[in-house]
């Protein structure tokens, strides 16, 4: 054997251990990769089954718990299946109960109670179209519609409205009862504005006459004393002038999103005035309505107005002014309606012919409207509700006059500035408590175990946060905890509205979450009614680095396309889920639609509301009262990145944003969820007396929509690590 052969053998022998070691290392890496591959495959299978809502197949998916990752997968899957199966069982039970009760009530000819049950069953059933075709459902709704018409004919406005509301909810798609509901709603609004005492007595009489089901009955208020004061209609029409009517109608005809005519708007105004004439409760405030001859003469003038409008094919704004002037003159000679009343009612009726979001914001409404868009106002910093006839504090807000003074959750507000709050409406209470910062208000507080106490408070600028977490922070009850799943580092942010400061609030929350190592995120937009378009765009841009966020098109408004641009607030690779439901509207839908169409987030929940129209705010000026009123006018429609319109039109079968994963919950579950949310917002002071704090803490309501979001994020995180 030569030297070269020996060297080769020596090298070969030396390489054997290295090869063996390398083989072992490669084998180990292969095993680890196989383990990850198994986890990836099962996470992928589970994701697909959840998306398709194949819960039974998901239950049968056998995930071998061979390591930490697959063990977690198995636990997540089993917990989710158990929760979904429980929800479905609850749904079936609730449906059967509602249907059985409805049929029993139908046999007893208790149509009013039966239709309430049917409305709930409709929301629960899995096949709503088939439900509406059931013979007994069609029979009941026909009887209820006849009863509603009969009650309206008798002037039983509240009962008729209740029935039409149930029917409108049941036939929400074809909207066959929508005009009836709108008519009754407008009549009740007339009472609320011009005859609030009559409306109060009507409600009291109805409550005394009705016999609620024991299941739904609530404890009656301890007292049924009549409020000492009622809102004055004179305050509601203060500073209203004919120029506002002129401005509103002219702008509507010129700039509304779709083509309309002055004739259509005149019809709306005349219909509103005719409804005013045929609401007898108003005669107490307007004696001219009790004069049959005067009413007949004015009714004839309304017919003449319609005839003139229809006869003129080229009706212009000057012609409308002349029609209104004639009606004002006839009114002075007959029913003697104040000019402001006629102007306001005619204008509101005209606007109703357009869409639900076009409206005049009258002088008395301007302050409240501006407050809602700013997200801040002058007040004392409390959330209130009406519970068992008493004005109750839900929670004080942190760093506000009420919080500093020691007002607590559960306190009863017995009086405001010395005036009793017995049977005071929430709107009245808010109007009385809020006001110019720096001014004073005194709240008389009832608290169990203590004597009544007056709290003199100085109003301040109150900022209502629009970004909230999952629960209050254990370390600081006034702050939110945004990390819902610390183990998997999943954040949760609830956006309640799109206001001026929402983008900054969201940035602050994201910063906190990223400091805690966030790996996934839930954005909850359920019950979010929307808000400012610019806020929706800013929030969308925080998560997108490219693509059209939203576009708008209108008849006279110039089209717009808003694109996203880098940088983003969190990495584009971080998984996200957006939660929506049927109460997510407007700006919420723009954000959710952009996240869905641009494939940035998974959308979970229920189809959104379908409010896809753009409103602009216009000042309605006139020489007598400049800048006292505004007009909210629909000028365009929103379009999602895929080009589809969000807007829900009458009779449409599709609208809004459809979730990628549809997870419906029953009305009862919805109610329980809202209660859990409200409870989570309560702030208890560190120095609060123990007697005022809850002795037992109820378990939070089941939330299968949120559970679905969390499961999908966990599965995505497993897949992203492979």
Residues 60-112 pLDDT 10s: 999 998 889 999 999 999 999 999 999 999 999 999 999 999 999 999 999 88
Give the separation between CA 304 and CA 318, rounded to whole angstroms. Answer: 17
Biggest distance spanned by C-alpha atoms of the chain: 136
Flag whether pLDDT at 620 surpasses 70.
yes
pLDDT for the residue 525: 97
pLDDT for the residue 8: 38
3-state secondary structure of 447: coil
pLDDT for the residue 685: 66
Residues 275-286 pLDDT 10s: 999 999 999 999
Flag whether pLDDT at 25 surpasses 60.
no
Percentage of the chain beyond pLDDT 70 is 88
pLDDT for the residue 371: 67
Note the Cα 386 to chain centre separation in Å: 19
Flag whether pLDDT at 195 surpasses 90.
yes
**Catalytic choice (263, 355, 411, 597):** 597
Active site residue 687: no
Q: Work out whether the CA dihedral 142, 146, 152, 158 comes out positive or negative.
A: negative
Indicate the average pLDDT of the chain: 87
Flag whether pLDDT at 666 surpasses 70.
yes
Q: pLDDT-based confidence at 526, cuts 50/70/90?
A: very high
pLDDT for the residue 221: 39
Give the separation between CA 447 and CA 266, rounded to whole angstroms. Answer: 54
pLDDT for the residue 686: 64
Flag whether pLDDT at 1 surpasses 60.
no
pLDDT for the residue 403: 86
pLDDT for the residue 220: 38
pLDDT for the residue 693: 54
Active site residue 263: no
pLDDT (mean) for 103-126: 92
Note the Cα 295 to chain centre separation in Å: 41
CB atoms under 10 Å from CB of 722, counted, come to: 15
Using CA atoms, how far residue 32 sits from 92, 271, 453, in Å, is 45, 76, 69
pLDDT for the residue 223: 41
Q: Are 385 and 426 in contact (CB under 8 A)?
A: yes
Q: pLDDT-based confidence at 51, cuts 50/70/90?
A: very high
Active site residue 597: yes
> What do you get for the CA distance between the two ends of the chain, in Å?
52
Q: What is the token pair recorded at 462?
A: 């109150």
Comparing CA positions, the residue from 138, 140, 128, 130 lying closest to residue 102 is 140
**Catalytic choice (47, 584, 586, 645):** 586
The lowest-confidence range among 70-74, 201-205, 659-663 is 201-205
Helix axes 68-107, 667-680, angle to 10 degrees: 120
pLDDT for the residue 212: 52
Comparing CA positions, the residue from 391, 394, 462 lying closest to residue 684 is 394
Report the alpha-carbon angle 526-500-632, nearest 5.
80
Residues 461-516 pLDDT 10s: 888 889 999 998 888 878 899 999 999 999 999 999 999 899 999 999 999 999 99
Residues 338-386 pLDDT 10s: 999 999 999 999 999 999 999 999 988 887 777 666 666 788 988 887 7
**Catalytic choice (331, 611, 628, 664):** 611
pLDDT for the residue 127: 92
Beta-strand runs (E) in 488-544: 490-495, 520-524
Flag whether pLDDT at 205 surpasses 90.
no
Residues 554-586 pLDDT 10s: 998 889 999 999 999 999 999 999 999 999 999
């Amino acid at each position: 054997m030569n030297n070269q052969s020996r060297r080769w053998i020596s090298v070969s022998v030396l390489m054997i251990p290295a090869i063996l070691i390398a083989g072992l290392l490669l084998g180990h890496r292969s095993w680890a990769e196989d383990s990850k591959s198994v986890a990836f495959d099962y996470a992928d299978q589970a994701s697909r089954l959840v998306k398709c809502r194949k819960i039974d197949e998901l239950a049968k998916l056998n995930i071998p718990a061979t390591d930490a990752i697959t063990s977690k997968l198995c636990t997540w899957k089993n917990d989710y299946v158990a929760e979904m199966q429980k929800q479905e069982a609850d749904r079936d039970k609730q449906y059967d109960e509602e249907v059985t009760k409805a049929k029993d009530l139908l046999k007893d000819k208790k149509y009013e109670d039966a239709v309430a049950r049917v409305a709930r069953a409709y929301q629960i059933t899995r096949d709503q179209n088939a439900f509406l075709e059931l013979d007994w459902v069609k029979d009941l709704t026909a009887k209820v519609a006849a009863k509603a018409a009969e009650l309206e004919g008798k002037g039983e406005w509240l009962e008729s409205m209740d029935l039409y509301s149930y029917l409108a909810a049941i036939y929400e798609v074809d909207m066959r009862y929508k005009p009836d509901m709108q008519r009754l709603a407008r009549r009740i609004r007339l009472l609320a504005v011009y005859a609030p005492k009559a409306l109060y007595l009507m409600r009291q009489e109805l409550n005394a006459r009705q016999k609620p089901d024991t299941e739904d009955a609530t404890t009656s208020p301890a007292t049924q004393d009549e409020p000492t004061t009622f809102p004055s209609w004179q305050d509601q029409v203060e500073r209203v002038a004919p120029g506002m009517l002129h401005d509103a109608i002219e702008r509507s005809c010129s700039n509304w999103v779709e083509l309309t005519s002055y004739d259509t708007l005149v019809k709306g105004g005349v219909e509103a005035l005719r409804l005013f004439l045929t609401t007898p409760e108003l005669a107490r405030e307007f004696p001219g309505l009790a004069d049959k001859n005067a009413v007949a003469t004015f009714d004839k003038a309304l017919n003449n107005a319609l005839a003139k409008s229809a006869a003129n094919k080229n009706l212009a704004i000057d012609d409308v002014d002349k029609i209104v002037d004639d009606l004002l003159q006839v009114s002075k000679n007959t029913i003697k309606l104040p000019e402001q009343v006629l102007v306001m009612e005619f204008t509101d009726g005209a606007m109703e012919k357009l869409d639900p979001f076009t409206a005049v914001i009258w002088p008395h409404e301007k302050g409240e409207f501006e407050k809602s868009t700013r997200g801040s106002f002058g007040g004392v910093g409390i959330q209130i509700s009406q519970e068992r006839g008493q004005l109750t504090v839900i929670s004080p807000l942190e760093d506000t006059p009420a919080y500093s003074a020691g007002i607590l959750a559960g306190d009863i507000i017995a009086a405001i500035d010395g005036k009793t709050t017995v049977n005071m409406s929430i709107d009245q209470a808010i109007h009385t408590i809020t006001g110019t910062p720096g001014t004073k208000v005194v709240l008389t507080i009832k608290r169990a175990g203590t004597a009544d106490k007056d709290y003199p408070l100085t109003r301040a600028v109150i900022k209502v946060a629009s970004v909230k977490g999952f629960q209050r922070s254990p370390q600081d009850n006034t702050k939110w905890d945004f990390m819902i799943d610390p183990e998997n580092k999943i954040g949760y942010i609830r956006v309640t509205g799109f206001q001026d400061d929402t983008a900054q609030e969201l940035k602050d929350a994201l910063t906190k979450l990223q400091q805690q190592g966030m790996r996934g995120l839930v954005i909850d937009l359920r019950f979010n009614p929307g808000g400012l378009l610019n806020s929706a765009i800013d929030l969308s841009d925080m998560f997108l680095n490219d693509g059209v966020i939203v576009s708008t098109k209108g008849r006279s408004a110039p089209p717009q396309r808003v694109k996203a641009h880098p940088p983003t607030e969190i990495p584009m690779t971080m998984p996200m889920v957006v939660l929506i439901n049927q109460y997510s509207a407007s700006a919420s839908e723009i954000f959710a639609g952009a996240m869905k169409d641009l494939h940035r987030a998974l959308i979970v929940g229920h189809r959104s509301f379908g409010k896809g129209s753009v409103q602009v705010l216009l000042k309605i000026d006139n020489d007598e009262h400049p800048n006292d009123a505004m007009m909210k006018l629909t000028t365009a429609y929103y379009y999602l990145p895929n080009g589809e319109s969000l807007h829900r039109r009458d009779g449409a079968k599709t609208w809004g944003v459809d979730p990628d994963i549809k997870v419906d919950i029953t009305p009862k579950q919805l109610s329980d969820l809202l209660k859990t949310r409200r409870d989570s917002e309560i702030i208890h002071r560190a120095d609060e007396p123990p007697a005022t704090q809850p002795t037992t803490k109820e378990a939070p309501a089941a939330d299968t929509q949120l559970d679905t979001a969390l499961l999908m994020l966990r599965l995505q995180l497993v897949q992203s690590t492979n």
